[in-house]
Amino acid sequence: MSTISQSSEDHLIRTLTQNLTTGPDIITGVGDDCAVIAKTPQEHTLLKTDTIVESIHFLPEEDPERVGWKAVARVISDFAAMGGTPEALLVTIILPPDTELQWVEHLYIGLNAAATAFDCSIVGGETSSTATGAPKVISISGTGTVAPQHLTLRSEAQPGDLIFVTGKLGGSISGKHLDFSPRIAEAQWLVNHYKPSSMMDISDGIAKDLPRLAQQSECGFTLIKSTLPCNPGSTTEQALSDGEDYELLFSIPPERKEALIDEWAKFFTNIELTHIGEFTKDQIDSLSGGWDHFIQK
């Protein structure tokens, strides 16, 4: 009998969701950073859920405040990738009974700090126990909003569009993955001034996420590996595969390249913007690596 360790995460998701029923008000469901539901002519609702698990997304000895920040920031990052903003969050925690109360209290300090920093509210949730010795689990579900004209999907890039990435990549294991700042302000600036043709955030590494973006837009791609912006001490391979960068990966038509680069430098002096490739009609660069939850390492 086959197991999920013999299947990629993407294949598992396709298998589980291929026959799901969606209503007429669903603009996009499975396959993007958030689900999008038509609400009014002026505003759509964004839905997102995300989970972090001890020993997978954070080590047992990590500061629980940093763990809480990360749990919320991951969801905020997905709202940014859709061109939207967060609104309200629900927190589910699943804890073994020997968890120290102080750990949970400090987790919530981090959760609330991130929610406050990005102008959203924690409005409820759920608690559950698990077996002694089992890993701690924190799951965040959230709602957000996006103006219809700002909604940015993974699926609308065209051959010839240029691929950009914000910030620097690689080295998340050094601790950056616990302290990153979601690119809400940057995404809002983009959708207001240089609406991307496609966009997502980088959670599993360029090597995994760029092919996903291309596939959703039914494009091939070329990647200029020599231009990948690496964090100090990180190699190109780490920039491709480490994941948990939570930078924006997006595309724009080529005629807007120079103006975008010039104006970006004026507004975001401390955050790099790098042209790393191009979407194509059929050419697909070979990329391997990136994070997959179910393929055994």
The pLDDT of residue 62 = 97
How many Å apart are CA 66 and CA 272, to the nearest integer? 25
CA distance linking residue 262 with residue 268, whole number of Å: 10
CATH number of 162-280: 3.90.650.10
Task: For residues 122 and 142, give the distance between their C-alpha atoms in angstroms, rounded to a whole number.
Answer: 9
Alpha-carbon distance of 256 to 28, in angstroms, equals 27
pLDDT along the chain (297 residues), means of 10: 64 66 82 92 96 96 98 98 98 97 98 98 97 97 98 97 98 91 98 98 95 94 96 94 96 98 96 97 77 53
What's the pLDDT score for residue 29? 83
CA dihedral angle for residue 122, residue 248, residue 244, residue 11, rounded to 10 degrees: 100
Of 202, 199, 198, residue with least CA distance to 182:
202
pLDDT digits (tens, 9 = 90+) for 56-93: 999 999 999 999 999 999 999 999 999 999 999 999 99
Phi, psi for residue 19 in degrees, rounded to 5: -110, 15
CA 249 to chain CA centroid, nearest Å? 10
Q: What is the CATH number of domain 21-150?
A: 3.30.1330.10
pLDDT of residue 178: 97
pTM value is 0.91
- Identify the pLDDT of residue 8: 65
pLDDT at 83: 98
Phi, psi dihedrals of residue 246, rounded to the nearest 5°: 55, 35
pLDDT in tens, 30-47: 888 999 999 899 999 999
Each domain of the chain, given as residue ranges in start order, spans 21-150, 162-280
- As a whole number of angstroms, the distance between CA 254 and CA 194 comes to 12
List, edge to edge, every strand of the sheet that includes 220-223.
198-201, 248-252, 162-166, 273-280, 220-223
Q: What is the pLDDT of residue 9?
A: 64
How far is 250 from 269, CA to CA, in rounded Å?
19
pLDDT at 297: 47
Mean pLDDT taken over the chain: 92
Q: 147, 42 in Cβ contact below 8 A?
A: yes
pLDDT (0 to 100) of residue 293: 54
